[in-house]
Amino acid sequence: MDSDRYDLWYDATTVGADLVVETWISHSPRLADETFDPQPGDWVTVGDDEEPSIRGRITRRDRNKVWVQLELGLVATDAASQAVGHH
């Protein structure tokens, strides 16, 4: 899996029953992207360099930390172009 095809890296073993997972911008491939400023309500893609990336909606942000609720019915094939800040 090409890591630049998702916005935020996640540890799948930390995903809760509510499908919310904490991610860090500093752990993610868009760390150096100054245009990347995800906010609650935005759609993003999350990935872990193994399985296809997944779309999710941001539920909360605290500076570097971003909580994303995954949409498991929506594997993010080609969704990177729809995510925050991609052009």
Partner 1 sequence: MTEPLSLRDEPAPTGLVVVRLGARTMEDKLLLRSVEQCHDRWGIWGFSVFEVPDGDYEQLARMRPIVAERRQLLVAEATALVDGGFPLLPTLDAPHWTVVLADATSAQFDRVRSHFEGPIANPSYRARND
50 binds partner 1 (CB under 8 A): yes
Q: Single out the residue of 42, 52, 48 nearest to residue 73, CA to CA.
A: 52
# chain residues binding partner 1, by CB under 8 A: 21
If binding is defined by CB under 8 A, does position 71 make contact with partner 1? no
As a whole number of angstroms, the longest Cα–Cα distance in the chain is 33
Residue 48 makes contact with partner 1 by CB under 8 A: yes
Which of 45, 76, 75, 72 lies closest to 58, judged by CA?
A: 45
Which 3-state string (H, E, C) describes 6-43?
CCEECCHHHCCCCCEEEEEHHHCCCCCCCCCCCCCCCE
Q: Which of 5, 6, 7, 9 binds partner 1 (CB under 8 A)?
A: 9
The residue from 15, 68, 79, 84 that contacts partner 1 (CB under 8 A) is 15
Q: Exactly one of 4, 27, 40, 60 binds partner 1 (CB under 8 A); which one?
A: 27
DSSP, res 81: G
For partner 1, the binding residues (CB under 8 A) are 9, 11-17, 19, 22, 24, 27, 48-51, 54, 70, 72, 75, 77
